[in-house]
Structure formats: structure tokens, C-alpha cells
């Protein structure tokens, strides 16, 4: 004798529930693995280094070329690291340098960002 529609519905519901449960279980195992915290530390450190380099590059660009040529500096590095530096004139010889660096962590698929704001004078 064949299964009723109610039994088929419960079997389908149970199968979907099990798929969701297994996917969530594997995700938690992956996130809690020993690799995940190390990848966060490495990504954060690398973002800090790129932000420092963008700051130095912004200083050199402002000193040598002026704010007109250095209004927006965008850089993209290997493994998806993106750095953006925006230079705005506040007053005659006072400038604001906004630096944003970001990367999507391949282990946890979270986007990590480092944001820095510096006030610069033309004499620096």
C-alpha cells in the first residue's frame, strides 16, 4: 500500500530539516576551528600594515603633488585587500586624510575593516 500525502509531507519536511541542521553544524565546526582565529589576526595585522602604508603614501603625495592630484588614492592588493585614501582640504594648509582598508576573510566570510582618520598639515 502506498504512502499517504501526509506521510510524504512529513518525510519532505524531515529531509529539509536535516539538511539545514547538517549545514549549520558544519558551519559552526568550521567557524570554531583553530584556523579561524588565526586568519582573523593575520587579516587584521595585514590591514593595519596597508593602512600605515596608505598614510605614508598620502603624506608623500601631498608633499610632492598637492591635494589636487591626491584627492583619491585607491589600491588593491592580492587576496582581495582593498585600500582607499581620501584627502580633503580643511583650511589653507590643513588636510584630512581618511583611510579605509578592507578584506573579506576567506575562512569565515566576514568582511574586516580598518578605518583611520588623520589631520595633516602641509609641513609634515
| Residue 71 and residue 23 share a domain | no
Range 85-109 burial, b when 16+ CB lie within 10 A, else e: bbbeeeeeeebebebbbbbebebbe
Chain segment 65-83, per-residue pLDDT in tens:
888 888 898 999 888 999 9
| Residue 57 and residue 110 share a domain | yes
Number of domains in the chain: 2
- Kindly tell me if the per-residue pLDDT of 27 is higher than 90: no
CA distance between the termini of the chain? 87
Question: What pTM was computed for the model?
Answer: 0.66
Using a pLDDT cut of 70, give the percent of the chain over it.
Answer: 85
Chain segment 37-64, per-residue pLDDT in tens:
666 788 889 999 999 999 999 999 888 8
| Residue 10 and residue 59 share a domain | no
| Residue 43 and residue 28 share a domain | no
Q: Which three cell numbers, joined as nine digits, stand for 106?
A: 576567506
Which structural domain, as residue segments, surrounds residue 13? 1-32
CB burial of residue 47 (10 Å; 0-12, 13-18, 19+)? buried
| Residue 52 and residue 10 share a domain | no
pLDDT recorded at residue 79: 86
Amino acid at each position: 500500500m502506498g504512502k499517504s500525502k501526509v506521510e510524504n509531507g512529513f518525510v519532505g519536511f524531515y529531509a529539509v530539516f536535516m539538511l539545514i541542521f547538517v549545514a549549520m553544524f558544519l558551519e559552526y565546526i568550521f567557524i570554531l576551528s583553530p584556523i579561524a582565529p588565526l586568519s582573523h589576526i593575520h587579516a587584521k595585522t595585514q590591514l593595519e600594515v596597508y593602512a600605515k602604508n596608505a598614510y605614508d603614501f598620502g603624506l608623500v603625495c601631498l608633499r610632492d603633488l598637492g591635494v589636487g592630484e591626491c584627492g583619491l588614492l585607491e589600491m588593491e592588493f592580492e587576496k582581495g585587500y582593498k585600500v582607499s585614501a581620501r584627502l580633503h582640504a580643511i583650511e589653507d594648509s590643513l588636510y584630512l586624510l581618511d583611510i579605509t582598508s578592507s578584506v573579506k576573510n576567506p575562512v569565515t566570510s566576514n568582511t574586516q575593516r580598518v578605518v583611520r582618520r588623520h589631520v595633516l598639515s602641509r609641513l609634515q
